[in-house]
């Protein structure tokens, strides 16, 4: 009788090889995801800055909060200044808007993955003035 198939040892060897390959590839994929989140955050901050600047041109003042970019605040209001609701950063945290700003007329900050000021790597703050 000729039985064809794989032995348990052959299957274990294949699983180990796949695991080794995954351990080499996975870290590179995660760094790409992190870079994409950082680039998305920078793009969203630029969009918010553009909306704030347009608001200022129309009303002659800066908004008191980011919510003012979506809700009418006076007779010269020509918004909404953002096409959709105010986005969260890619780590699902709210952007911090400060007016007056400490580094410019206004500051917009994403505190990164940890949602706390300062940090390194993925936790590093992404700001409007850099």
- For residues 66-83, average pLDDT: 89
Query: Is residue 114 included in any domain, yes or no?
Result: yes
Query: Is residue 48 included in any domain, yes or no?
Result: yes
Structural domain containing residue 108? 40-127
DSSP-based three-state secondary structure for 23: helix
Report the distance separating Cα 102 and Cα 85, nearest Å. 26
Query: Is residue 54 included in any domain, yes or no?
Result: yes
Q: Could you report the per-residue pLDDT of 34-63, keeping only the tens digit for each?
A: 889 999 999 999 999 999 999 999 999 999
Task: Please name the residue ranges forming H helices in 60-69.
Answer: none
- Determine the pLDDT at residue 25: 78
Q: Could you report the per-residue pLDDT of 61-70, keeping only the tens digit for each?
A: 999 999 999 9
The CATH number assigned to the domain holding 67 equals 3.30.700.10
pTM above 0.85, yes or no: no
Query: Is residue 7 included in any domain, yes or no?
Result: no
Query: Is residue 13 included in any domain, yes or no?
Result: no
pLDDT band of residue 74 (cuts 50, 70, 90) is: confident
pLDDT at 22 over 70: yes
pLDDT at 108 over 90: yes
Task: Please name the residue ranges forming H helices in the chain.
Answer: 8-59
- Rg of the chain over all Cα atoms, to the nearest angstrom: 24
Query: Is residue 91 included in any domain, yes or no?
Result: yes
DSSP-based three-state secondary structure for 78: coil
- For residues 68-74, average pLDDT: 87
Report the distance separating Cα 111 and Cα 50, nearest Å. 20
Query: Is residue 116 included in any domain, yes or no?
Result: yes
pLDDT at 4 over 90: no
Which of 59, 56, 83, 60 has its CA nearest to residue 70? 83
Query: Is residue 5 included in any domain, yes or no?
Result: no
**Apex 26 CA angle, 23 and 28, nearest 5:** 120
Question: Based on the structure, what is the number of domains in the chain?
Answer: 1
pLDDT at 1 over 90: no
What percentage of the chain has pLDDT greater than the value 70? 98
DSSP-based three-state secondary structure for 109: strand
Tokens of 60: 């002659």
Tell me the β-bridge partners of 108: 97
């Amino acid at each position: 009788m000729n039985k064809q198939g794989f032995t348990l040892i052959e299957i274990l060897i294949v699983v180990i090889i796949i695991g080794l390959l995954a351990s080499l590839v996975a870290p590179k994929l995660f760094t790409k995801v992190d870079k994409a989140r950082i680039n998305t955050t920078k793009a969203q901050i630029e969009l918010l800055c553009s909306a704030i600047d347009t608001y200022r041109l129309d009303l002659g003042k800066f908004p008191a909060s980011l919510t003012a970019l979506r809700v009418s605040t006076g007779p010269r209001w020509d918004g909404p200044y953002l096409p959709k609701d105010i986005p969260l950063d890619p780590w699902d945290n709210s952007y911090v808007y400060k007016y007056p700003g400490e580094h410019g007329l206004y500051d917009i900050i994403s505190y990164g993955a940890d949602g706390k000021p300062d940090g390194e790597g993925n936790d590093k703050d992404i700001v409007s003035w850099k």
